[in-house]
Every structure is written in C-alpha cells, then in structure tokens.
Chains A and B, each alone.
Chain A
Amino acid sequence: DGGITQSPKYLFRKEGQNVTLSCEQNLNHDAMYWYRQDPGQGLRLIYYSQIVNDFQKGDIAEGYSVSREKKESFPLTVTSAQKNPTAFYLCASSIDPTSSGRKFFGPGTRLTVL
C-alpha cells in the first residue's frame, strides 16, 4: 500500500525546544515538500527537495531545517528560532518536481507550543 506517512500525529513543544517531524514515502517520488497550514490561510511552502542530498528554501524557511539523506525520507526540524510554530504541518511528494505536479500529501502533524 503506497503512500506518505507522517509522525507523530500530535506534537507538543516547550519553549526553547527543537522538535523533529517525520515524513516517509514509498511512492518512489523524487520531489518532497513541507507545508505549513494556518487557519484562514493557504498552504505555505517551508522547504522542498527535488532530489536526494539537495533541498531549497521555500517562502517561510526561517526557524526550520530539513535533510534529505534518503529518497524516501524528508524530516523537518522546527527550531527554537521559529517564534510561532503552532500550526498543522503537511508533507507532500510528487513525481513531477515542477510546480504543476500533482501533490500527494501525508496525514499531517499538529504541533502545539506549550
């Protein structure tokens, strides 16, 4: 059963902590993405990767970091430098790395700052 998995589903962060959100896909897609979703706003791109060992900043990369050591994995770290991290985080992948490519999304991780 192919797809994208994200873990955990819910995550709580204390002030000053770094937390890492997991994203794994078995679709054999080259391109992977991290989006942030806030109420009343469209999805905003944090980071994307078109190929292993390469990634690019999106529109709101400050306070976040990623790695792409394996094709199937694209973890996102929310650092203490991100001042307003409470949001719903979505990982996606696509066969077509261009902007027009259909995106396959994971189930999301809801991050809350305590």
Chain B
Amino acid sequence: SQKIEQNSEALNIQEGKTATLTCNYTNYSPAYLQWYRQDPGRGPVFLLLIRENEKEKRKERLKVTFDTTLKQSLFHITASQPADSATYLCALASNYQLIWGAGTKLIIKP
C-alpha cells in the first residue's frame, strides 16, 4: 500500500543545534515534495518545495534534501531557535494528488 511516514514522536532539540526531520514514503513516484510548518490551532504555512531532479534546496536556515532512491526527504533547521518549535508537515505530489504526512512536532529547548 502507499504510505507517507513522518516520525510521530516529538523531536526535542537544544537551542542552537541542527534539527533534522524525516519524511519517508513507499509506493509513490513523487514529482515534487513540499514542507509546511503548522503552529497549534493554525493553518499550515508553506516553507519549501523540492523537485524530483533536485537533490537539495536551501532557504535561510532551512535545508531540504530529496533522495528518490531511498524514498526519503530530510528537513534540516540549522542554528535552531525556540521560535522554530512547531509541527512540520511533508506533502508529496504524485499522480495529480497531494499526499500529506501526519507531521512531526519539533520542540526547541532554550
């Protein structure tokens, strides 16, 4: 069956360290992958989009990688800050559908 998985357990990171979140998928051939940030009780906010032919994408302290062989995307936040605490969602674009992961909650401790 087709699945997209994000770590359901919260990720606790010390302020200043790099946070790395994982998005794994099976039985998809995604053309694009998107990452969003969602704060409690709010709608998701778009962060980055990476295409299947791109290995890496950066935006300020954010970096996304996309490995179609491993069927995995990694989302990195460098020099993490307490304000980065939120739930991060990945979404795959495949066959004209957008398939969403359940998200990983990130907690940055001062």
Contact = CB atoms under 8 A, between A and B. Distances in A.
Contacts of A44: 100
A32 to B, nearest CB: 13
A90 interface: yes
B62 interface: no
A107 B43 contact: yes
A99 B101 contact: no
Which bucket holds chain B's interface residue count?
Answer: 20 to 34
Contacts of B8: 40
Interface in B83-97: 89, 91, 93-97
A63 interface: no
Interface of A: 4, 6, 35, 40-45, 90, 92, 98-100, 102-108, 110
Contact of A92 (B43, B94, B99, B103): B43
A99 B4 CA distance: 16
A90 B49 contact: no
B97 A99 contact: yes
Contacts of B94: 99
Contact of B99 (A6, A42, A98, A108): A42
B46 A104 contact: yes
A42 B4 contact: yes
A42 B98 CA distance: 11
